[in-house]
Amino acid sequence: MTTDITRLSASELAASLADGTVSSVEATQAHLDRIAEVDGDLNAFLHVSAEEALATAADVDARRSAGDELGPLAGVPIAIKDVVVTKGLPTTAGSKILEGWIPPYDATLVERIKAAGLPILGKTNMDEFAMGSSTEHSAYGNTRNPWDLDRIPGGSGGGSAAAVAAFEAPLAIGTDTGGSIRQPGAVTGTVGAKPTYGGVSRYGLIAMASSLDQAGPVTRTVLDAALLHELIGGHDPRDSTSIPEALPRLADAARLGAAGDLKGLRVGVVKELSGEGYQEGVSARFAESLDTLRALGAEVVEVSCPHFTYALDAYYLIMPAEASSNLAKFDGMRFGLRVQPSEGPVTAERVMAATRGTGFGDEVKRRVILGTYALSAGYYDAYYGSAQKVRTLVQRDFAAAFDQADVLVSPTAPTTAFKFGEKLDDPLAMYLNDVATIPANLAGVPGVSVPNGLSDDGLPVGFQILAPAKADDRMYRVGAALEASLEKTWGGPLLAQAPELKTTELTR
Amino acid sequence: MTAVPTTDLVAYDDAVRRYDPVLGIEVHVELGTRTKMFCAAEVEFGAEPNTQTTPVSLGLPGALPVVNGTAVEYAIRIGLALNCQIAESCRFARKNYFYPDVPKNFQTSQYDEPIAYDGWIDVELEDGETFRVEIERAHMEEDAGKNTHVGGTAGRIHGAEYSLVDYNRAGIPLVEIVTRPIEGAGERAPEVARAYVQTLRDIFRALDVSEARMERGNVRADVNVSLRTGPEAPLGTRTETKNVNSFRSVERTVRHEISRQAAVLDAGDTVVQETRHWHEDTGVTTPGRVKSDAEDYRYFPEPDLVPVAPSRDWVEEIRAGLPEMPAARRRRLQGDWGYADAEMRDVVNAGALDLIEATVAGGTTPAGARKWWMGELARRAKQADVPLESMAVTPAQIAELEQLIAGGKINDKLARQVLDGVLAGEGDPAAVVQSRGLEVVSDDGALLTAIDEALAAQPDVVAKVRGGNQGPVGAIIGAVMKATKGQADAKRVRELVLERIGQ
């Protein structure tokens, strides 16, 4: 066979599986081989579940030859961010405090992935409890950016983005609380979509901030993202915040967009998400992409969302407040790490303190302390209360903007991938990386990051498309249109321009 | 501030003469739903530890709560029965604190938005007087697990070697009912407190929202007491005695706290705002944690749940379906049965109302039913030191017993033997009559044999009777009754004896 299976997009691979040119076992093995070859350098995976993946693949192959009706992505392997619980597979959320914990149940989205016959390759690295924008806060080491191994792959879902960018997996699951799917997508040249809040069940996601968390697809093409979104999305009675209505037709929207006609579509450029603080190459690619959309027939208008300026501040009160409560359960009493106090009496309270003191990393402690403070008696109104008011204002800004435009656009992240350690000692600089992605989480609206070129530093840049709540189809349509047009200019996918990774010889 | 020893109490009568007690009572009731408040774990009393759990009630990473609709309905029923307003929309909140029996280290409760608020309930005291208690709110929350401390003294955490946690109870739905300050009860405060908790218990049962068994902890009361110098004086500092779990203890707790606080105030000291624990054995309260160090619970709206918004139609449907409330039912039954006020009060206080109602429904006269439950059965219950309702006999069985008497199958004396059999688990009365051979001997043939033997054995008596003196005939009847082990109908025996002697 001439084509490397791992270079195929998920939908291409699905087509090959359907017509019998490739088996799921072959496809799964090819990706496992690729992981073995390159992951020593990348560290995208915390756990590789080769046996289980191959067993699923063999089962799907058998069902296919038996003539069973299979879903569109059956047999296509997938990687799952380690913040999603997987029955029988270690789940750490990137934290020492969960080292060795094997969940006794599956997240709803994992149940759906298993039911659809996608072999699970393993669990991907992340910032501890999804707190970070660089994956440097993982307790299990950095994940490197396949474009430049000295640089961060984004975060918190750096493992999923790097795995997909490095052809270790055609599909991955991410979670996005303030940009953890989209920003890694931008800095690794991959597609990352955050669905409407409530569009994908949160049952089985280890919560950081319940009102902001949302799981979504990490892929190499917009169509793949739409297909995976359709697979994992839709109502789940086990998540009270799950949307009861059916999802819009997402893959159809992506196919429609790829046909290239955006006539009549109004694209709103958010004034507040550009200019100062945005790297020159990022702004340049953004401007060019707007031209591309105009060329496809879209009308580009400028919209103002004045309260977005306060979004970051509100986010850094709401998120830690919820996280401080969500992370209280990690106390060494029922699961995971348990640490006895080094001296003095062994009481439950002291074991909890010792466990949390040892098990949590600095960024987690920082946010737990911040959130505990923000919720304290006497401070609640000033901090959490005010932040919720800002949240309402951000939602109103979105509502007004969507009166003027069908979708809103911005650069996904202000800069390309930075070097390891560059922002580690400056939390505020690190937090600023999420300035363009956070408003969508505060308002619960969907957003996708699509690769739109390389900056002058030769690193990938992302273009963010935001749609109104429950209109996720719009972002796939526009994203696919942009992707198709840009790939024509580039003569292929952006990732084809990524440097070849050094591979280690297989000892298999 | 000096500590006042618990033995240093002001006599109760003296205390309430000089101080005006104000109460506040928080009652927790465990709802009798099939599953827990936020997950599908089954709820069953006495199951093996940690078998009634799900990832949700164990607080495992990733698990999410879903509100139990039946629990909401039960909470609304309680709210309506307590004459409360029902919120059009209300939220759950997280009450954050670290404790091993709280699996998530926060309790999902309602904070500033209870499902029911602004109600009242009239409680009847033992002498028939009523007292109105105002309800501030009734809110929904989840129960915690249960800690067992091993190796210390009397199961206390202090000095224990290790502790075990059972999460079966964690997540069981609770409704907490909070009164406004109960003022004006004066010397009857302990009685009002008791009657209030008892009234709630009766309402929970009538509403069928809980088994409401105090001894199982289905209903628990936190009793707040403070004293002031008079009805116009500002409220004094309160203490909160936690988890008082019998009616009698509620009454005794209030009484004790009034005497204790009066002693503190008399000594010129101030009452410490604190939680206290009631000790059934010694009849005193002792301090728990001091409230002024109260934890900051960092309440905030539960982001994993959407607001509960019961539609007005649903609320009205629930209101229309409410059963008769206990007070109304008592009035109706007293009228139907023709009991005197004092008789009715005794029946209610003995917990015999349901039993008598069911017995009457089985065909027994109200007087007959009362005679059994307030007489023979009350006596036996007292002897065995168990509540009347725990006796191993059902109202249907008592009704059956009465029918056997009325039908002449057994007499009163035999009936007590039949009851022995029923209580011993030998089956229903008719079966016991059969198996123990207790039926009245109504076969004349069998009786005549015994009579002839008795006549032959006492010729002198026969002669006297024949001589016109019927007095000594009792000796013959006695002998026959003895020979038939009391199973003969004495009246019939007399007739046959006289016939035989030829009188």
Statement: residue A2 has pLDDT above 60: no
How much is the mean pLDDT over chain B?
91
Statement: residue A169 has pLDDT above 70: yes
- Does the beta carbon of B98 lie under 8 angstroms from any beta carbon of chain A? yes
* Rounded distance between C-alpha atoms, residue A328 and residue B300, angstroms: 14
- Please answer yes or no on whether B62 and A204 come within 8 Å at the CB atom: yes
Instruction: Please report the pLDDT score of residue B459 as a whole number.
Output: 85
- Tokens standing for B108? 């999902």
- Given pLDDT bands bounded at 50, 70 and 90, which one contains residue B292? very low
Looking at A9, A23, A49, A81, which residue is catalytic? A81
Q: Is A329 a catalytic residue?
A: no
Closest Cβ–Cβ partner in B55, B299, B303 for A210: B303
- Please answer yes or no on whether A352 and B98 come within 8 Å at the CB atom: yes
End-to-end CA distance of chain B: 93
Statement: residue B158 has pLDDT above 80: no
- Tokens standing for A428? 């505020």
**CA quadruple B451, B457, B461, B466: dihedral positive or negative?**
positive
- Given pLDDT bands bounded at 50, 70 and 90, which one contains residue B389? confident
Instruction: Please report the pLDDT score of residue B429 as a whole number.
Output: 93
Decide: helix, strand or coil at residue B318: helix
pTM of the complete model: 0.87
Decide: helix, strand or coil at residue B216: helix
* B239 or B433: which leads in pLDDT: B239
- Measured in angstroms, the CA of B96 and the nearest CA of chain A are apart by 7
B299: nearest CA partner in chain A: A375
Residues A148, A454 contacting (CB under 8 angstroms): no
* pLDDT mean over B153-174: 86
Burial class (CB in 10 A: 0-12, 13-18, 19+), A340: exposed
* Rounded distance between C-alpha atoms, residue A245 and residue B227, angstroms: 57
- Measured in angstroms, the CA of B13 and the nearest CA of chain A are apart by 42
pLDDT in tens, B59-77: 999 999 999 999 999 999 9
Closest Cβ–Cβ partner in B67, B103, B300 for A384: B300
* pLDDT mean over A382-409: 97
* Rounded distance between C-alpha atoms, residue B470 and residue B141, angstroms: 78
Burial class (CB in 10 A: 0-12, 13-18, 19+), B2: exposed
- Tokens standing for A39? 């992951």
Statement: residue A397 has pLDDT above 70: yes
- Does the beta carbon of A84 lie under 8 angstroms from any beta carbon of chain B? yes
* A204 or B387: which leads in pLDDT: A204
A272: Cβ contacts below 8 Å, ≥ 6 apart:
A304, A305, A306, A308, A309
- Given pLDDT bands bounded at 50, 70 and 90, which one contains residue A149? very high
Instruction: Please report the pLDDT score of residue B1 as a whole number.
Output: 40
Question: Which 8-state DSSP code applies to residue A205?
Answer: B
- Measured in angstroms, the CA of B299 and the nearest CA of chain A are apart by 7
Statement: residue B445 has pLDDT above 50: yes
CA A64-A65-A67 angle, 5° bins:
65
The complex's ipTM works out to: 0.95
For chain A, list the domains and their CATH numbers: 2-254+264-308+392-497 (3.90.1300.10)
